[in-house]
Amino acid sequence: MIYDQRSILSGYVSGLLSAGHVTFTAEEAERTLGIGHGAFLDAAERLQRRKALLSPRQGFYVVVPLQHASWGAPPPAWFIDALMRREGQAYYVGLLKAAELHGATHQAVMEFQVVTAKRLPRIRAGRSMIAFYFRKNMKAVAAGMEDRKTDTGTMKISSGALTALDLLRYPQASGGMDNAATVLSELGRKIDPEELAALSAVVERPVVQRLGYLLDHLGHDGSTGPMLKALLARGSLPWTELDRRQALDPDFAPEPRQRDLRWRIIVRRLPQIDG
């Protein structure tokens, strides 16, 4: 009987792959196959030991196609939308991963970076690491989310404008100011100025100031006029550091190298662009 149940689940998994699906829940499989929860868990564990199945979250399963067996999982893009629907959370693929999807990257992105309103632990999916970054109010930036086709459906990713803002909002995820500036040197060409202005009205002012300064510095000043107008409509701008870590680093001279009056940014070291 145990053997039959395992065979049934294996057939169910094969049927999903044939239909172009790679995810399912325990409840869906139990209902479709007419087996109990304990029997399902036994069968699922057997497939997991064979590296044919992955469970990144309790009750949620990802089928590992044969061509991805050496990686231990299909690409996260294949299942991130289904996973976040399982979590009941709005999300978007963002930061360096979104920049890569927009064609702006100078090195391999080590994490599959996701922004969501729920604090979630990182997930190891085979060779991939899915890292989650918290944003309290996802609705405020909904205009900066767009659908991107994947091999198994679609997923949400941040637009060029939202990606640019997030690179400055989450410096720990962006690889530092130099790396953010390097990515922005390419991404800046793909930013819609009006969308950037609209998003600048709902993002923290220091983040907008830093991005505005960098875009000007990188030669993308054609995108920053509406952005600055939206920012000034929120009131006077306080002075802010381009890189807060530099202000606290004793290796930097106490006197700033530059004070940018347009964005009221204090620059202690100009960002270095890679390549």
Q: Tens digit of pLDDT per residue, the chain (275 long)?
A: 444 555 789 999 999 999 999 999 999 999 999 999 999 999 999 999 999 999 999 999 999 999 999 999 999 999 999 999 999 999 999 999 999 999 987 777 889 999 999 999 999 999 999 999 999 999 999 999 999 999 999 999 999 999 999 999 999 999 999 999 999 999 999 999 999 999 999 999 999 999 999 999 999 999 999 999 999 999 999 999 999 887 777 666 556 778 999 999 999 889 999 86
**Cα–chain center distance at 24:** 23
Q: Give the pLDDT score at 120.
A: 96
Q: Give the pLDDT score at 275.
A: 65
Q: Give the pLDDT score at 108.
A: 75
Rounded Cα gap, residues 140 and 4, in angstroms: 51
Q: Give the pLDDT score at 250.
A: 62
Rounded Cα gap, residues 53 and 51, in angstroms: 6
Lookup result for tokens 């800046």: 188
Q: Give the pLDDT score at 274.
A: 82
Rounded Cα gap, residues 65 and 182, in angstroms: 36
Q: Give the pLDDT score at 1.
A: 42
Set out the domains of the chain in order of their start, with CATH numbers.
2-71 (1.10.10.10), 80-267 (no CATH)
The tokens for 218 are 């990188």
Strand segments (E) across 2-59: 23-25, 53-57
Q: Give the pLDDT score at 56.
A: 94
Q: In the structure, how many helices (H) and strands (E) does the chain have?
A: 12, 12
